[in-house]
Amino acid sequence: MQIVKLPTQKKRVYKRDEHHVSRSDISDNALKVLYRLKNAEYDAYLVGGGVRDILLEKTPKDFDIATNATPEEVRSLFRNCRLIGRRFRLAHVHFGPEIIEVATFRAQHDGNDSDEGQIVDGMIVRDNVYGSIEDDAWRRDFSVNSLYYNISNFSIEDYVGGVEDLRKRRLRILGDPEQRYLEDPVRMLRAVRFAAKLDFSVEEKTEAPLFKLGSLLEGVPPARLFEEVLKLFLSGYAVKTFELLRHYQLFPFIFPQTEVSIKEDSGGRTLDLITRALANTDQRVAQGKPVTPAFIFAVFLWKSVSDLNAKYLARGMGESQTFSAAAEAVVSGQSRRVSIPRRFQTPMREMWMLQERLVKRAPRRSIRLLQHPRFRAAYDFLLLRAEAGDVDAELASWWTELVHADDEAREEIIDRLSRGRRQFKRRRKPKV
């Protein structure tokens, strides 16, 4: 792996009066780690998204540190430190719920340097060859993520032209784009995520391979893709991210069944349902409300489950078996591409199963259904389906009335439902 440095991109140091990073922008725990490394005579820099977001006047989600200390040397300085990772060894310094990630400067390698640097079929499987800060800057993915805040003199060190790209609001990958995506296909998803999150344009050379290299994602472990999916759709920019994934033709390689459902639905209801669900998720994130992967996966896979259930019924399978069989087949198929932990599979299936019960509105069971632990999620799902035209709006209105009514009013609502059904019930023909 060799990244060519362009001669026009030389190191530039931005002094304190040229940037807007101050101690107050950095968490106290990150400062503790930086200064302990510095006092132990190691180089210590705040790096990556933390620096990028501060310069963009955003609140960083976390703080990463780069140093010339090895992971073992970092651990010797902090009793609350744990070493993680094999492909990419890191030191995690724990301060209660906050984790400060510390990485040793990495260098480029061709995969044959040692057991610590391995490349198989162009993909990096181990990346623990250490080097200088400049080596480290050029082996990072995007220029805007390769800025270093030096705690020693409070300056920003830029080896790759990242500050200029920030000013132009441009996302640019370092090195040859195709080679970098081949080394780690997840970088394509990161490109989409950063473009959506930061509202940046994607530089032309960085963008071009995205349209043709999506199949590389098939070689990424499903468990790793699950973690990326969480970042893509639960960070508050899900609608924009979804649009970009489909624009760059990457979405079919992480949710193939969903893409088929969207294309086969000529009425556009599936796409409308997904878009509404993602917009709802973005709104909840913005309001600080909890969100769950189970809801996103349930929405993405709903049409696939519903269609397969209908096929099973047409084949003569028993109604009590078809839905469970359809859900099992769809979840199993999706997990081969993006793994879904069992703790999320169960609520997904319950949300799906409750849709049928919500549609039927059995008078004697409707009030009891309100106490189901998954009712609220299933009800929210039903409302989105109604907005997308997937179920009758009157049905959603009826449940909304029931949800917000007191006990006496609920009994009246159920009585009206029962009387209405008796009124339209067919009379039995008299026996001859």
pLDDT digits (tens, 9 = 90+) for 334-380: 999 999 999 999 999 999 999 989 998 888 788 899 999 999 999 99
Residues 169, 281: one domain? Answer: no
Residues 285, 157: one domain? Answer: no
Q: List CB contacts of 311: < 8 A, sequence separation 6 or more.
A: 326
pLDDT at residue 50, rounded to an integer: 93
**Is residue 71, in this structure, part of any structural domain at all?**
yes
Q: Is 15 exposed, middle or buried (0-12, 13-18, 19+ CB in 10 A)?
A: exposed
Residues 281, 403: one domain? Answer: yes
pLDDT band (50, 70, 90) for residue 116: low
pLDDT band (50, 70, 90) for residue 126: low
Domain encompassing residue 346:
275-423
Single residue among 125, 154, 174 that ends a domain in this structure: 174
Residues 283, 137: one domain? Answer: no
Domain count, the chain: 2
Please give the Cα distance from 259 to 271 (Å, whole number): 9
**Is residue 318, in this structure, part of any structural domain at all?**
yes
80, 36 contact by CB (below 8 A): no
Name the residue among 88, 82, 130, 102 with its Cα closest to residue 36: 102
pLDDT band (50, 70, 90) for residue 180: very high
**Is residue 257, in this structure, part of any structural domain at all?**
no
19 or 158: whose pLDDT is higher?
Answer: 158
| Whether residue 59 has pLDDT greater than 60 | yes
pLDDT digits (tens, 9 = 90+) for 136-147: 999 899 999 999
Q: What is the DSSP letter of 129?
A: -
pLDDT at residue 226, rounded to an integer: 97
pLDDT digits (tens, 9 = 90+) for 212-255: 999 999 999 999 999 999 999 999 999 999 999 999 999 999 99
pLDDT at residue 253, rounded to an integer: 98
pLDDT at residue 428, rounded to an integer: 53
CATH number at residue 153: 3.30.460.10
Q: What is the DSSP letter of 209?
A: G
Q: What is the average pLDDT across 117-132?
A: 59
190: which 2 tokens? 């990161």
Identify the helix (H) or strand (E) that includes residue 104: strand 98-104
Give catalytic residues, as residue numbers.
62, 64, 141
Q: Is 73 exposed, middle or buried (0-12, 13-18, 19+ CB in 10 A)?
A: middle
| Whether residue 125 has pLDDT greater than 60 | no
Residues paired with residue 173 on neighbouring β-strands, in sequence order? 142
Measured in degrees and rounded to the nearest 5, phi and psi for residue 106 equal -105, 155
- HSE-CB for 60 with a 13 A CA cutoff: 22
pLDDT digits (tens, 9 = 90+) for 374-424: 999 999 999 999 999 999 999 999 999 999 999 899 999 998 888 766 555
**Is residue 243, in this structure, part of any structural domain at all?**
no
Residues 160, 284: one domain? Answer: no
Tell me which amino acid residue 82 is. Answer: R
pLDDT at residue 77, rounded to an integer: 96
DSSP 300-329: HHHHHHHHHHHHHHHTT--HHHHHHHHHHH
Single residue among 127, 151, 174 that ends a domain in this structure: 174
pLDDT at residue 145, rounded to an integer: 96
Q: What is the average pLDDT across 265-288?
A: 96
**Is residue 92, in this structure, part of any structural domain at all?**
yes
| Count helices and strands in the chain by DSSP H and E runs | 19, 12
pLDDT at residue 117, rounded to an integer: 43
Q: List CB contacts of 128: < 8 A, sequence separation 6 or more.
A: 88, 89, 106, 116, 117
174, 146 contact by CB (below 8 A): yes
Residues 163, 280: one domain? Answer: no
- HSE-CB for 206 with a 13 A CA cutoff: 22
pLDDT at residue 9, rounded to an integer: 60
| Whether residue 431 has pLDDT greater than 60 | no
CATH number at residue 348: 1.10.3090.10
Residues 150, 288: one domain? Answer: no
Residues 17, 164: one domain? Answer: yes
Tell me which amino acid residue 253 is. Answer: F
Question: Greatest CA separation found in the chain?
Answer: 103
Which residue is listed with tokens 């469970």? Answer: 324
Which residue is listed with tokens 């049409």? Answer: 303
**Is residue 194, in this structure, part of any structural domain at all?**
no
Q: What is the average pLDDT across 191-210?
A: 97
pLDDT digits (tens, 9 = 90+) for 246-274: 999 999 999 999 999 999 998 999 999 99
**Is residue 196, in this structure, part of any structural domain at all?**
no
**Is residue 250, in this structure, part of any structural domain at all?**
no
Single residue among 145, 174, 203 that ends a domain in this structure: 174
pLDDT at residue 337, rounded to an integer: 97
Share of the chain above pLDDT 90, in %: 74
| Whether residue 207 has pLDDT greater than 90 | yes
